[in-house]
Amino acid sequence: MNPLLPFLMAGDPSLEALPQLLSDAKALGLEAIELGLPHSDPIADGPVLQAAAQRAIARGATPLRVLESLAGLTDSPDIILFTYLNPLLQMGAERLKALLRPTPVKALLVVDLPFGEEPGFEADLRAAGYPMVPLLAPTTSIDRARQILSDRPDPGASAPFAQRFAYVVARLGVTGTGQGTDLGPVSRRVTDLKGLADRPLAVGFGLSDSRSLAAIRAMGATPVIGSALVQELADGGSLRKALSPRMVDDN
Amino acid sequence: MTAGFTLPTRFGAQALGGCYAPETLMQPLLDLEVAFLAASTDPSFLAELKGELRHFVGRPTPLTPAPRLAAKLGLKHLFLKREDLTHTGAHKINNALAQAILARRMGKTEIIAETGAGQHGVATASACARLGLDCTVFMGVTDMARQAPNVARMRLFGAKVVPVEAGQGTLKEAVNEALRAWAGRCDRAHYILGSALGPHPFPTLVRSFQTVIGEEARAQVLEQSGALPEVVLACAGGGSNGLGLLLPFLEDGLRRVAVEAGGHGTALGEHAARLDGGRMGVLHGCKTLLLQDEHGHTAETASISAGLDYPALGPELAALLLDGQVEVRRASDDEALSGARLLCETEGILPALESSHALALLPALAAEGVATILLGLSGRGDKDLSTYQSRLGI
């Protein structure tokens, strides 16, 4: 099982530093990484990722420059591009596919695109090898979860984790807040979802301490670490130092 | 089409609108549509709303002839639909009160709202006080400074006003923060969106609670003058006032005109006129005409009027515009100030800066040969006194 799914904001601390961060992540043995495309109006993000996006935009990390900076990178985990819809829509499917082709991007996590809203766009990208990650929230009913998982299906065991997993939102709210939340409900949710589909699950939102990460792994799911990592990197920390102790459980 | 909804989620030939919401909010939005549909046919809800609109809000609002202003501009007849005379001083109360009653029916105990000019925030705070609901209003820091009286009013009504520092500190950032807050508390809180935008079902919900403006105005103008006007005219930020007045005249053979904020220039960032500078895009849960840069990032906007200072036009109004059912025009900051002054001097009515954008278009319409106009006076201008004082040198 993939022990950790980290999130980085492209362009923070800088676009120039991104290839080295991705290379370090690969050297740590990480199979996949979420990479945030900085957006002007990140309605699902908390203060840490909002600030990171603002810094990145101020330093010129436009969607185009982010994707161009990923072109030709091979020393990288598989990338799940974490983004809001509008920049992708403005690019258009054809241009987006052309920009993604030379990059390690394997899937898209579009926060404000529920299944069924842009069916043509989504099908086009999936056919080109860029499926949308299914998101399941605490408010998602089990019937709706079944529908989401079938609308954004598992391509099968031969596909990489990035294209197979479903993202389980651990709690109500936005990214990066609510540490210390009771993980009981998400544990029950993970059990229910495992009964629906035999695909990898990642659990995120408000996870950073070793105990929470271990608890998610004990559920048989991959914990996502986002805001805490972004903050540590912004404060000058190294990726290795931030992630190494979080990849294994203390026993 | 969006899975799970009953009502149409899209508007017009270009299928604007939709429900581009984070997954956490999808079930609350589905639940909201169910509750809205049930309430719409429930005699007890309709009776309560009607009673509150009459005895608390003060509906029906008058349709006031403005003969001195008409004569000055060379118009034959000018009628003002007086939403400025509602309780709390703007049309916003029609929707805020209805949604608050709906939220209470849904068992919600807390209300979240965003506000630009503060009129929606004041209306929501007032409705919450009346219904005994907790109220939190998100407001940009720029707007808090320029609409300070409304901040005080909200606090007097017991609402918590949360300053939003991000970006330009205006309505867009307030909506961002309200959506984030709702995602964290959607199990117990309802979000009362104040404009005809956002993810489905909000545009339909808000418009349905605002068309009372146009329904009353249409009957009143027929009663007073025996005929419909040549033009029905309203200002448009997101579109709650514009749709509320214009939609009931959709089947009539007349011109429906919405006025956007022309700000202080025509370059991106100097105005909030989505027709000229906007392209199709997605913001705050809906696809519509949006002021944005080449990267799909939302553009900055500018307007003297906090209530019109928003980068997206509501999807239904944008669809009506693109399908040729509504004309959209623009008025600059200076033209709006002149419009306000003219109404004050000729009729003794102080309009809100938002409504002044509609007034600003009157000379142009008169010059086009229009003789009879019905204008939506969406709100009163007490909140804007400091701007009027500084900009008009009073």
| Interatomic CA distance for residues A155 and A138, integer angstroms | 25
Q: What is the pLDDT along chain A (251 residues), one digit of tens a residue?
A: 789 999 999 999 999 999 999 999 999 999 999 999 999 999 999 999 999 999 999 999 999 999 999 999 999 999 999 999 999 999 999 999 999 999 999 999 999 999 999 999 999 999 999 999 999 999 999 999 999 999 999 999 999 999 999 999 999 989 887 777 789 999 999 999 999 999 999 999 888 888 899 999 999 999 999 999 999 999 999 999 999 999 887 65
Please give the Cα distance from A39 to A110 (Å, whole number).
12
Q: Would you call A113 and B187 a contact, using CB atoms and an 8 Å cutoff? A: no
Query: What's the ipTM?
Result: 0.96
Reply yes or no on whether B114 is catalytic: yes
Q: What are phi and psi of B45, to 5 degrees?
A: -65, -45
Question: Are A172 and B187 in contact (CB < 8 Å)?
Answer: yes
Residues of B in contact with A84 (CB under 8 A): 282
Residue type, A15: L
The tokens describing A82, both together, are 């974490």
pLDDT of residue A207: 87
Instruction: Single out the catalytic residue among A24, A31, A34, A198.
Output: A34
What pLDDT is attached to residue A250? 64
Going by C-alpha positions, the residue among A91, A7, A75 that lies closest to residue A46 is A7
B49-74 residues labelled b (16+ CB within 10 A) or e (exposed): beebbeebbebbbebbbbeebbebbe
- Judge: B23–A135 Cβ closer than 8 Å, yes or no: yes
Q: Do A44 and B22 touch (CB under 8 A)?
A: yes
A7 and A82 Cβ atoms separated by less than 8 Å? yes
Whether the bond between A104 and the residue before it is cis, its omega within 30 degrees of 0, is: no
Which residue in chain A has the smallest CA separation from B168? A40
Residue B269 to residues A40, B147, B299: CA-CA distances in angstroms?
14, 21, 6
- The residue in chain B having the minimum alpha-carbon distance to the alpha carbon of residue A171 is B184
User: Three-state SS for A45?
Assistant: strand
Tens of pLDDT, residues A43-54: 999 999 999 999
Sequence-ordered list of residues with C-beta below 8 angstroms from that of B87, at least 6 positions apart, any chain: B56, B57, B58, B93, B126
Contact A89, B295 (CB under 8 A): no
How far apart CA A52 and CA A47 sit, in angstroms, is 9
Q: Which residues, other chains included, contact A98 with Cβ-Cβ below 8 Å and sequence gap of 6+?
A: none
| DSSP assignment letter at A79 | E
Average pLDDT over residues B172-185: 96
Query: From chain B, which residues contact A within 8 Å (Cβ)?
Result: 1-4, 18-28, 166-167, 172, 176, 179-180, 183-187, 279-285, 290, 292, 294-298
A62-81 residues touching B, CB cutoff 8 A: 62-64
Quickly tell me which residue has 């006025």 as its tokens.
B259
Q: Is A173 on the interface with B (CB under 8 A)?
A: yes
Q: What are residue B120's DSSP bridge partners?
A: none
Distance in Å from the first CA to the final CA of chain B: 53
Reported confidence tier of residue B193, pLDDT bands at 50, 70, 90:
very high
A142 contacts chain B (CB < 8 A): no
Of residues B250, B367, B386, B368, the one with CA closest to residue B306:
B386
Q: In the predicted model, is pLDDT for residue B1 greater than 90?
A: no
Type of residue found at B154 = M
Residue B46 backbone class (left: φ over 0; alpha: ψ -120 to 50; beta: rest) = alpha
Q: How many CB atoms are closer than 10 A to CB B116?
A: 30
A65 contacts in B (CB within 8 Å)? Answer: none
Buried b vs exposed e over A107-143: b needs ≥16 C-beta within 10 Å?
bbbbbbbbbbbbeebbebbbeeebbbbbbbbbbbeee
SS3 B334: helix
Examine residue B201 and say whether the peptide bond preceding it is cis (omega within 30 degrees of 0).
Answer: yes
What lies within 8 Å, CB to CB, of B151 at 6+ separation is: B118, B139, B144, B161
Taking CA–CA distances from B182, the nearest residue in chain A reads A173
| Cβ contacts of A185 on chain B, cutoff 8 Å | none
Query: What does the alpha-carbon distance between residue B328 and residue B312 come to, in Å, rounded to a whole number?
Result: 13
Mark yes or no for CB contact A139/B26 under 8 Å.
yes
Q: Is A175 on the interface with B (CB under 8 A)?
A: no
Q: Report the gap between the CA of B186 and the closest CA in chain A (Å).
A: 8
Tell if the pTM clears 0.90, that is, is over it.
Answer: yes
- What is the per-residue pLDDT across B97-153, written as a single tens digit (0 to 9) for each? 999 999 999 999 999 999 998 999 999 999 999 999 999 999 999 999 989 999 999
Residue A94: per-residue pLDDT: 98
Instruction: Kindly determine whether residue A50 and residue B1, on different chains, have CB atoms separated by under 8 Å.
Output: no
CB B140 within 8 A of CB B174: yes
Q: Is A143 a catalytic site residue? A: no
What is the greatest pairwise CA distance in chain A?
49
Q: Using an 8 Å Cβ cutoff, are B392 and B360 in contact?
A: no
CB atoms A114 and B20 under 8 Å: yes
Give the count of Cβ contacts less than 8 A between chain A and B.
120
